[in-house]
């Protein structure tokens, strides 16, 4: 048995899932997160976790937390309809990676992102340190890594994992040439509290995907089975979940120019700007966007990572959006990230029990991740092309 200590940068979905997998394998770890607290910034709202993501999660987190994860998913997530901007039925434009639940025994689950993160944090709170941004790291000849973090003396470890998202500092130091490319598209997302105003209620049935000329809008009713404290006490007592009411999630995705958002720094104006880009759309859809509270709305440029980039052999690696950011059009970013976490935890667990070098074991993880992530990016780009097609 060979012991090593892993430092993970970033307590997002990938960093926390890896931490859970390492805990399960009995490997020592610490996670350092830049944000002051788990809820200190808008996390996003609904996220769809597919069969592969669910299997990866089940392999990393305790059974009772997985049961709670499933129980907190929105009901009827799989029912979906595809419509024109006037809400007329349309067919044949869904990206291949979307599972609307027709023929798989494990359908996608729509979960609230903040709740998901709280579940991933349960049981590892003592090893997750908030308010400590990574500044830089340094590798030594004896194989150790020294990590410089805001507000802490230097931290030493045997392995460093950059799970610090699309603007990863670990990546900038390890592989500066692997900066993700700006695709020129943008995703704007928000939510509307229920009950929906009259005229918007046609969006209150599961998932609605609106295919328009050159862009796509998605609406997903997040309707939970019970209040989260009741579900937590039933499935995983001791796990604290922030209360969450039902809501309507929406996201609009397309080239910046199509959405009239070449500059998108005036977040307060977003709902109004968007309704201009949606002239001629059904009034119910326009109302959902225009009546959303601007503080609940966010915009993110869509970037595409470079998982094919190679970096020097050693004790530092990358996971999730830090190396393979991709368009949300495929619904694959988090799912690929959860599988990264599962594979890395499993490979490190084997290395530990076989007294094999963890650095060499990480090469196996990187080869697997590069292959999977490149395929996911291709699928996401195909999905984006399909969603941004002009209507014939
Ligand atoms: C609108 C939208 C909808 C999406 N929907 C889906 C979906 O339905 N299904 C799906 O599979 N994917 C979806 N995705 C993609 C998914 O959100 C990401 O792929 C996933 O969150 C990546 O997880 P991560 O842990 O790699 O990065 P993140 O979740 O970004 O976490 C990175 C963490 O690192 C921290 N950090 C950053 N820098 C530092 C630093 N220097 N020091 C310390 N900490 C740092 C950040 O604060 C953050 O907490 C969507 C994305 C968007 C934008």
Question: Does 191 reside within a domain?
Answer: yes
Which atom of ligand 1 approaches the CA of 298 most closely? 1
372 three-state secondary structure? helix
* Nearest Cα residue to atom 20 of ligand 1: 334
Identify the pLDDT of residue 24: 97
What CATH number is given to the structural domain containing 374? 3.50.50.60
Kindly state whether residue 168 falls inside one of the protein's structural domains: yes
CA 195 – ligand 1 centroid, Å: 29
Atom of ligand 1 nearest to the CA of 35: 47
**Cα(321) to centroid of ligand 1, in Å?**
6
Q: Spell out a b/e string for 43-76, using b for 16 or more CB atoms within 10 Å of the CB, else e.
A: bbbbbbbbebbbebbbbbbeebbbbbbbbbbbee
Atom of ligand 1 nearest to the CA of 11: 49
pLDDT on residue 99: 62
Classify residue 285: in a domain, yes or no: yes
- From 42, 333, 340, 376, mutation site for ligand 1 pocket: most ligand atoms within 8 A of C-beta: 333
- DSSP-assigned states of every residue in 135-149: EEEEE-TTS-EEEEE
Give me the domain span that covers residue 371: 5-387
CA-based angle 112:376:57, to the nearest 5? 45
Entry pTM: 0.94
For residue 392, how far is its CA from the centre of ligand 1 (angstroms)?
35
pLDDT, residue 257, reads 86
Find the radius of gyration of the CA atoms of the chain: 21
How far is the centre of ligand 1, averaged over its atoms, from the C-alpha of 283 (Å)?
A: 33
Rounded Cα distance between 261 and 270, Å, is 9
Order of strands across the sheet that contains 28-33: 128-130, 28-33, 5-9, 159-162, 316-318
* Ligand 1 site, CB within 6 A: 9-15, 32-35, 44, 47-48, 133-134, 163-165, 169, 187, 189, 251, 300, 320-322, 328, 331-335, 337
Q: Residue with the nearest Cα to atom 48 of ligand 1?
A: 12
Q: What pLDDT does 105 receive?
A: 61
Distance 12 CA to ligand 1 centre (A): 6
Minimum-distance ligand 1 atom for the alpha carbon of 16: 25
- Please check whether residue 105 lies inside any domain of the structure: yes
Count how many domains the chain has: 1
pLDDT in tens, the chain (392 residues): 678 999 999 999 999 999 999 999 999 999 999 999 998 877 789 999 999 999 999 999 999 999 999 999 998 655 678 889 988 888 766 666 666 655 556 788 999 999 999 999 999 999 999 999 999 999 999 999 999 999 999 999 999 999 999 999 999 999 999 999 999 999 999 998 887 767 666 777 788 889 888 889 999 999 999 999 999 999 999 999 999 999 999 999 999 888 887 766 555 667 777 777 888 898 888 888 888 888 888 888 999 999 999 999 999 999 999 999 999 888 899 999 999 999 999 999 999 999 899 999 999 999 999 999 999 999 999 888 877 776 54
Any domain includes 392 = no
Is 176 inside any structural domain? yes
Residue 188 lies inside a defined structural domain of this protein: yes
Residue 110 alpha carbon, nearest atom of ligand 1: 8
- Ligand 1 atom closest to the Cα of residue 320 is 26
């Amino acid at each position: 048995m060979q012991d090593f200590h892993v430092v993970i940068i970033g307590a997002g979905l990938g960093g926390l899932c890896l931490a859970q997998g390492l805990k399960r394998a009995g490997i020592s770890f610490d996670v350092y997160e830049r944000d002051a607290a788990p809820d200190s910034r808008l996390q996003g709202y609904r996220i769809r976790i597919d069969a592969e993501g669910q299997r990866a999660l089940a392999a990393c987190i305790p059974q009772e937390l997985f049961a709670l994860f499933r129980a907190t998913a929105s009901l009827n997530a799989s029912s979906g309809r595809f419509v024109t901007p006037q809400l007329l039925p349309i067919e044949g434009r869904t990206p291949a990676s979307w599972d609307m639940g027709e023929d798989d025994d494990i359908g996608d689950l729509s979960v609230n992102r903040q709740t998901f993160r709280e579940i991933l944090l349960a049981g590892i709170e003592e090893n997750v340190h908030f308010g400590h941004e990574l500044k830089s790291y340094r590798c030594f000849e004896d194989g150790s890594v020294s990590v410089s973090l805001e507000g802490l003396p230097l931290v030493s470890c045997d392995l460093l994992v950059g799970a610090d998202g699309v603007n990863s500092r670990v990546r900038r130091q390890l592989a500066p040439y692997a900066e993700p490319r700006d695709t020129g598209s943008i995703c704007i997302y928000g939510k509307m509290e229920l009950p929906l105003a009259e005229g918007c209620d046609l969006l209150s049935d599961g998932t609605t995907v609106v295919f328009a000329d050159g862009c796509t809008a998605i609406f997903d009713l997040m309707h939970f089975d019970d209040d989260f404290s009741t579900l937590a006490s039933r499935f995983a007592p001791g796990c604290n979940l922030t209360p969450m009411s039902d809501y309507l999630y929406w996201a609009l995705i397309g080239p910046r120019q199509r959405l009239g958002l070449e500059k998108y720094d005036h977040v307060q104006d977003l709902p109004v700007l968007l309704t201009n880009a949606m002239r001629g759309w059904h009034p119910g859809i326009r109302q959902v966007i225009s009546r959303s509270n601007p503080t609940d709305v966010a915009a993110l440029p869509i970037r595409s990572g470079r998982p094919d980039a190679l970096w020097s052999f050693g004790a530092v690696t990358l996971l999730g959006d830090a190396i393979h950011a991709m368009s949300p059009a495929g619904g694959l970013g988090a799912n690929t990230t959860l599988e990264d976490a599962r594979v890395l935890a499993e490979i490190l667990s084997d290395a530990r029990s076989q007294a094999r070098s963890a650095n060499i074991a990480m090469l196996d993880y990187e080869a697997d991740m590069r292959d999977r992530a490149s395929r996911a990016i291709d699928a996401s780009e195909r999905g984006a092309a399909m969603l941004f097609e002009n209507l014939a």
